[in-house]
């Protein structure tokens, strides 16, 4: 199977997040809000750069302490 891996190397998928304002996936997600959850890790809300400038930034991880 090594030949298969060499011909088709596993590359990590590009980090794409959905913009919370326009709903479109963005390759340059900007964290604009952090929603704490009691039963798991915090949910980070992302926006695309175009929308991020229109959003009021909320607390980010590390800023809640
Ligand atoms: Zn957007």
CA of 57 to the centre of ligand 1 (A): 14
- Residues 47 and 19: beta-carbon distance below 8 Å: yes
Res 51: pLDDT:
93
Predicted local distance difference test score (pLDDT) of residue 20: 93
> Whole-angstrom Cα distance, residue 56 to residue 38?
24
Cα 35 to ligand 1 centre (Å): 18
Q: What are phi and psi of 20, to 5 degrees?
A: -80, -10
Q: Give distance in angstroms: CA of 31 to centre of ligand 1.
A: 12
Q: How far is the CA of 46 from the centre of ligand 1 (A)?
A: 9
Residuewise pLDDT in 10s, the chain (65 residues): 555 556 665 655 566 899 999 999 998 898 888 889 999 998 888 999 999 988 866 666 676 66
Q: Which pLDDT does position 64 carry in this prediction?
A: 61
pLDDT at 21: 93
The model's pTM is: 0.61
């Amino acid at each position: 199977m090594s030949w298969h891996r060499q011909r088709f190397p596993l590359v990590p998928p590009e980090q794409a997040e959905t913009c919370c304002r326009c709903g479109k996936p963005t390759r340059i997600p900007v964290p604009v809000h952090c929603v704490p959850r009691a039963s798991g890790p915090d949910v980070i809300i992302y926006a695309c750069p175009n929308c991020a400038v229109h959003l009021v930034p909320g607390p980010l991880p590390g800023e809640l302490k």
